[in-house]
Amino acid sequence: MLRITRTSGSGGAEHLTLEGRLAGEWVSELRAAAEPLLARSRKLVVDLSGVAFVDPTGVRLLQDLVAAGAALHGASAFVAELLGGPRR
């Protein structure tokens, strides 16, 4: 299960706070939440501090979001390693 909470931050940035596991069907749920925000050229911050596990499909999505301009924050050491290095 994955909980996605959307909030507006300072400077016009949108924040998506994730809690749970980014795996299976939940990957498409995050994609559906994030892509419209990026398409509107908004700043997007994805808070991963509540994420305990990411499957390979979730890793690919997070990498795609970063490539599209999103910032990832709060990744655990485990999640950061899956993503290929440290994240703030």
Quote the pTM value: 0.89
HEC letters along the chain: CEEEEEEECHHHCEEEEEEEEECCHHHHHHHHHHHHHHHCCCCEEEEEEEEEEECHHHHHHHHHHHHCCCEEECCCHHHHHHHCCCCC
Q: What is the pLDDT along the chain (88 residues), one digit of tens a residue?
A: 999 999 987 778 899 999 999 999 999 999 999 999 998 877 899 999 999 999 999 999 999 999 999 999 999 998 899 888 655 4
Which domains, and CATH codes, for the chain? Answer: 2-83 (3.30.750.24)
